[in-house]
């Protein structure tokens, strides 16, 4: 399909375009140098193993892969025939040089391989590798801040580790945007009387920080608020449940970012994080907005039927036993009627052992009094990264289709640098297609590429774009 060129799109609008999720494909020899500075000059082979896990996994048997929690990982993931784009994804100065050609005014750039170290189980390796990638990003983007800003990565195994790296990247390296690990795989303990070696390496539970976490992450959210940092998440659900094929990457990849974003978003909401920290703005990248509309609808529907104002409608103790017995006597078949004396016990299935309000109110942390609170706690703080060619982006702006006529904060997120962008010159035209096809109007498009990014990046830091090429436009928008 033919798309409008970047200049043709720019002729139709009068506002900047902010890309909230481009990608750098790191040049590993340079990252390796920094890792050796962090971990020690003898640790090069350790770094190489973290990079070559894809290749090493191919030598294992199927049973060994499953035991280790491995799956068919990403392969052939970057531009190759389009050498200019591959170089653009590797060299920030080339990306900066091409910004006008691509039709972009400003881009927030995420790591690619650098997203992996946040999940390394070994703390020493995780800290050293994460620090090396963050230093690499800081060095690579020096002098380019008028059009580009890099993202630092923050491991989340403990809030203390997260805060330590957050302080370093903001205070020492000067980052103003970060991405946090969206989950931590916590190892399962052995069964009572069992041995730890009996538990497969791949056996784990997912900690998503907002609910039933192994730690209290409120000190981290509080520090993000104090620093004016918007917590963003760019994690994948590849390897989870049914996304663990040993042979098919596409099977594992489809929906994986949405699954990971949905898990973290759901935990933050039900854990009351947005109630306790209403000033924070969060983003979930690369999963689109379709899942956000579904989750919002599901949460609202569950609250309407299972909120504290309604949940006792399902308490077995509320059954009128005399009426039920009379109905059994009249309508039950002979086999059921033969057990009528067991009626009370039989109707008490799915019980709870504790009926206190604070136990049965599963929305208690959200302190919801009315349906409209969902907009304050969900659609206001949460932002959703949407790739340019995703037709479901329109769902975020379809107030008539969404409960409470809600519009979700979809963010234009190019994903340049990865295989799903064969030609960077087409990204802006693909995003504009929804306007040409009548699914968005030009005001919606402005929200997508400018207003919603301002909501995210300036929500806690009004000066996020100070000193950039779009400072004047942003200042005018924030004061209008």
Instruction: At 227, list the tokens.
Output: 């620093």
| Strand duo 382-386 + 282-284: pairing | parallel
Q: For 171-222, how does the pLDDT look when each residue is reduced to its tens digit (9 = 90+)?
A: 999 999 999 999 999 988 877 666 666 777 677 899 999 889 999 999 999 9
Contacts 24+ apart (CB under 8 A), 216-219: 216/159, 217/156, 217/159, 217/162, 217/273, 218/273, 218/276, 218/277, 219/159, 219/163
How far is the CA of 84 from the CAs of 78, 106, 232, 415, in angstroms?
Answer: 12, 20, 29, 16
For the chain (length 480 residues), average pLDDT per consecutive 10? 90 97 97 97 91 76 82 91 97 98 98 95 96 98 98 98 98 98 90 68 86 95 98 95 92 95 98 98 97 97 96 92 94 94 87 81 95 97 96 95 96 96 96 95 97 98 98 96
Q: For 214-248, how does the pLDDT look when each residue is reduced to its tens digit (9 = 90+)?
A: 999 999 999 999 999 999 999 999 999 999 999 99
**Helix (H) or strand (E) segment spanning residue 409:** strand 409-412
Domain boundaries, the chain: 6-306+370-479, 316-354
Let me know the angle formed at the C-alpha of 404 by 431 and 459, rounded to the nearest 5 degrees: 60
Distance CA 176, CA 462 (A): 11
Q: For 456-479, how does the pLDDT look when each residue is reduced to its tens digit (9 = 90+)?
A: 999 999 999 999 999 999 999 999
pTM for this one?
0.94
What topology is assigned to 6-306+370-479 in CATH? TIM Barrel (3.20.20)
Under DSSP, is residue 385 helix (H, G, I), strand (E, B) or coil?
Answer: strand
Please tell me the predicted confidence (pLDDT) of residue 190: 75
Instruction: At 11, list the tokens.
Output: 């002729």
Nearest residue to 201 (alpha-carbon basis) of 184, 187, 214, 189: 187
Q: What is the dihedral of CA 410, 416, 419, 421, to 10 degrees?
A: 80
């Amino acid at each position: 399909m033919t798309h409008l060129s970047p200049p043709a799109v720019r002729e139709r609008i009068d506002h900047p375009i902010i890309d909230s999720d481009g990608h750098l494909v790191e040049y590993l020899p340079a990252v390796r140098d920094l890792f050796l500075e962090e971990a020690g000059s003898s640790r090069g082979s350790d770094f190489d193993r973290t990079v070559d896990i894809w290749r090493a996994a191919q030598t294992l048997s199927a049973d060994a892969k499953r035991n280790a929690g491995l799956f068919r990982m990403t392969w052939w993931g970057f531009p190759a025939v389009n050498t200019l784009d591959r170089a653009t994804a590797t060299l920030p100065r080339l990306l900066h040089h091409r910004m006008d050609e691509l039709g972009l005014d400003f881009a927030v750039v995420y790591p690619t391989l650098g997203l992996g170290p946040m999940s390394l189980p070994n703390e020493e390796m995780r800290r050293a590798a994460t620090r090396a990638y963050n230093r690499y990003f800081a060095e690579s983007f020096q002098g380019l801040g008028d059009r580009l800003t890099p993202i630092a990565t923050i491991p989340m195994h403990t809030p203390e580790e997260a805060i330590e790296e957050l302080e370093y990247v903001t205070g020492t390296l000067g980052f103003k945007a970060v991405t946090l690990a969206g989950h931590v795989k916590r190892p399962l303990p052995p069964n009572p009387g069992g041995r730890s070696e009996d538990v497969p390496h791949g056996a784990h539970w997912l900690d998503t920080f907002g609910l039933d976490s192994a730690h209290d992450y409120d000190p981290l959210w509080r520090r993000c608020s104090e620093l004016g940092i918007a917590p963003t998440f760019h994690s994948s659900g590849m390897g989870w449940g049914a996304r663990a094929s040993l042979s098919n990457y596409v099977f594992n990849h489809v929906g994986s970012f949405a699954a990971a974003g949905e898990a973290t978003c759901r935990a933050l909401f039900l854990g009351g994080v947005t109630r306790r920290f209403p000033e924070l703005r969060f983003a979930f990248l690369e999963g689109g907005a379709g899942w956000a509309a579904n989750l919002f609808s599901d949460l609202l529907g569950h609250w309407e039927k299972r909120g504290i104002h309604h949940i006792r409608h399902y308490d077995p103790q509320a059954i009128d036993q005399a009426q039920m017995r009379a109905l059994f006597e009249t309508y039950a078949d002979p086999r059921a009627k033969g057990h009528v004396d067991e009626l009370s016990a039989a109707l008490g299935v799915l019980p709870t052992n504790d009926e206190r309000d604070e136990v049965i109110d599963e929305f208690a942390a959200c302190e919801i009094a009315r349906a409209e609170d969902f907009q304050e706690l969900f659609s206001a703080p949460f932002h959703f990264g949407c790739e340019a060619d995703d037709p479901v982006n329109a769902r975020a702006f379809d107030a008539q289709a969404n409960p409470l006529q809600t519009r979700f904060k979809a963010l234009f997120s190019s994903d340049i640098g990865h295989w799903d962008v064969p030609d960077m010159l087409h990204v802006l035209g693909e995003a504009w297609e929804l306007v040409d096809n009548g699914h968005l109007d030009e005001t919606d498009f402005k929200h997508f590429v400018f207003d919603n990014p301002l909501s995210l990046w300036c929500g806690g830091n009004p000066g996020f774009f100070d000193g950039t090429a779009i400072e004047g436009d942003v200042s005018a928008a924030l004061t209008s």
